[in-house]
Amino acid sequence: MENYADLIQKQKSFFSQGKTKDVSFRMEALGKLRTVIKQHEQELMDALKADLNKSEFDAYLTEIGILLEEIRFTMKHLKKWAKPRKVKSTIAQVGSKSFIYPEPYGIALIIAPWNYPFQLAIAPLIGAIAAGNCAILKPSELTPQTSALLSKIISENFPEEYICVIEGGVETSTALLNEKVDYIFFTGSVPVGKIIMEAASKNLTPVTLELGGKSPCIVHKDANLKLAAKRIAWGKYINAGQTCVAPDYIYAHNSIKEEFLKEVKQAIQELYGGDPIAAGNFTRIVSERHFNRLTRFLSNGTTVHGGRHDLSSLIIEPTVLNNVTWKDEVMEDEIFGPILPVLEYEDLSNMIAEVIKRPKPLALYIFSESEAVQNQILSSISFGGGCINDTVYHLSSPYLPFGGVGESGIGAYHGKGSFDVFSHEKSILKQTTKFDLPFRYPTTKDALKKVKMFIK
């Protein structure tokens, strides 16, 4: 197992020089990152096509364009975010001024997944740079073309003592986790997230864990079914369902379930055509192991749409399963593939009770025109974030911090949230020397009585 102690020391030495704390240095780095992403746009699309069969449209929308916008937004606001901000002082602190100074942690280790291999490596890097950290990126070995290109882009444009990419498999991640870094940012599965947190605990290293879970999509009886079906199909099947916030399953009201199923089938037809496997532009499953895991689920319930799959291309067409129950294998863990189970409910409260029996999901989606129904669900179920009458789209807003709760994750990022994640807020009280309040000292006459005057 390789030892990365020299690299860590090199970054620590560079960080100690203070260059990364200069806001103009951060702005220059972000501007350079934006430029090189644009310069390598076609290469990135080609790599994503080679690794996951992503179309150019999906690659740009979900991997490139979203990052360019994130960098633009960050650069627009960074100077304000980085400034010490004044906060109120209490009456007991007369003469003092209070400030919060955002400061970088130091060396940030970013471990990225394979499902959005470029976006989910660079998005946290934007926050790490903005906050003034050095960074080590560990991309996924399951998307080798994208990981190699990521390494090339970074190594050609940034010194390794500032930002570097380390390619490799599980043993590489393990070796990096054995080193003492200042912050760990991990995106991936719940089981691996537990391993990351255990490793971080040995040095009490702070972590952000962006995990997953079974994200419900609730379709109430008053929903706009045609629009709901289209938005659900898009959110579920983009990237072949290999999205941490994809609707994992549907809970449809029994009075509209059959009509909803018809609309979903129609939406899939419109979005992906009659034979996505033959068309050759549907994102493939990342590996044969994941492919085999997913195809086992096809025996659950009743297949009402799709179900065809091709091992040679690792493609499973968009599939809808009806007559599914919580006892089926497909409902045990996060699906992470293009298979959509549909359950039904009659009573809203009973359905909510079933959802909250399970671990808190990363996302939840509600399709209903009723504010009362929306509010009942929002106030009853804990989850990371989500949408009302849409799916997945909350990820695209830099004003909405993105993250999980409970088993679906720790911490949130995007926009200012990314700057905050990689910043420690240092609290400072600046005290006057023009006078000194005597009541704070025990030698003052009636000191306790005077202290109590300030504490009600």
> Does 332 qualify as catalytic in the annotation?
no
* Catalytic residue flag (residue 134): no
Which of 217, 244, 334, 344 does the annotation list as catalytic?
A: 244
Residue type for 57, please? Answer: F
Q: Considering 63, 70, 210, 344, which one is annotated as catalytic? A: 210
User: Could you write out the three-class secondary structure of the chain?
Assistant: CCCCHHHHHHHHHHHHCCHHHCHHHHHHHHHHHHHHHHHCHHHHHHHHHHHHCCCHHHHHHHHHHHHHHHHHHHHHHHHHHHCCEEECCCHHHCCCEEEEEEEECCEEEEECCCCCCCHHHHHHHHHHHHHCCEEEEECCCCCHHHHHHHHHHHHHHCCCCCEEECCCCHHHHHHHHCCCCCEEEEECCHHHHHHHHHHHHCCCCCEEEECCCCCEEEECCCCCHHHHHHHHHHHHHHHHHCCCCCCCEEEEECCCHHHHHHHHHHHHHHHHCCCHHHHCCCCCCCCHHHHHHHHHHHHCCEEEECCCEECCCCEECCEEEECCCCCCHHHCCCCCCCEEEEEEECCHHHHHHHHCCCCCCCEEEEECCCHHHHHHHHHHCCCCEEEECCCCHHHHCCCCCEECCHHHEECEECCHHHHHHCEEEEEEEECCCCCCCHHHCCCCCCHHHHHHHHCC
Beta bridge partners of 249: 216
For Cα atoms 229, 231, 236, give the angle at the middle one, nearest 5 degrees: 90
Instruction: Give the residue numbers marked as catalytic.
Output: 210, 244
